[in-house]
Amino acid sequence: MPYAVDDRIVFDPAQWAGVLAPYPSPADDAKAPVGWETGARYFDLGFTMRDGTKTSIAALKGKLVVLQFWGSWCPPCRVEMPAFQKLYDSLKNRADIAFALLNFREDAATGYRWAERNDYRLPFADSGNKGREDNNLYLADGSAIPYGTAVALAQVPTTLILDRRGRVIFRKSGATDSWPAMTEQIGHALDHSAR
């Protein structure tokens, strides 16, 4: 049932799945700026998945990509992790989506140990970040990019969803416990955003 105020619909649950739409048009890809804003082509970050597989944003084209920047030192990141695990669990069997949780301000091994102790089975990845004093992320070519440039604010957790062509369709800074509710929206993006 739609929610209405003074007989004017303000929320229609039937349209909730498409809340991330409209999706960027492939015709605009070449002229879209590189950045973190909705519609921008995201930076070609390079990272190494926990299993040792090296990858990058460009290598993941064709898949919807969910990136989360986090740290085990970050209380909001730890609070949010159970909800993010539920989101991942609901979508992990789809071949057309990739998740990567990238460490920030700590080496990847520290984050991996924390995740193991707390029984999280998420696709953690090594962003190349060296530790507390390193405020950079690293592009696929190895060059550094300041974290604040890559996500606008030096806030963790920050989560980005990229369409199948590497364009930003969603950005969330700060913790939330509502990740499981995003399953439907992500499914809509998978089914309706251009390849």
CATH classification of the domain holding 136: 3.40.30.10
What is the predicted pLDDT for the residue at 152? 64
What is the predicted pLDDT for the residue at 91? 96
Q: Is 12 exposed, middle or buried (0-12, 13-18, 19+ CB in 10 A)?
A: exposed
- Mean pLDDT score, 123-141: 89
Confidence label for 194 from pLDDT (cuts 50, 70 and 90) = confident
Residues 48, 126: contact at Cβ < 8 Å?
A: yes
**Number of domains the chain is built from:** 1
What is the predicted pLDDT for the residue at 191? 86
Please state, in angstroms and rounded to a whole number, the distance separating the CA atoms of residues 107 and 36.
24
Q: Is residue 136 pLDDT above 90, yes or no?
A: no
Q: List b or e across 111-120, with b for residues whose CB sees 16 or more CB atoms inside 10 angstroms.
A: bbebbeeeeb
Cis peptide upstream of residue 157 (ω within 30 degrees of 0): yes
Q: Is residue 97 pLDDT above 80, yes or no?
A: yes
Confidence label for 1 from pLDDT (cuts 50, 70 and 90) = very low
Determine the structural domain holding residue 56 and report its residue range.
3-192
Please state, in angstroms and rounded to a whole number, the distance separating the CA atoms of residues 76 and 62.
31
> Which residue has tokens 């105020």?
5
Alpha helices in the chain (DSSP H): 75-91, 108-117, 147-151, 183-192
Please state, in angstroms and rounded to a whole number, the distance separating the CA atoms of residues 189 and 64.
8
What is the predicted pLDDT for the residue at 25? 85
- Mean pLDDT score, 37-53: 94
Pairing of strands 158-162, 8-11: unpaired
Please state, in angstroms and rounded to a whole number, the distance separating the CA atoms of residues 19 and 39.
14
Confidence label for 19 from pLDDT (cuts 50, 70 and 90) = confident
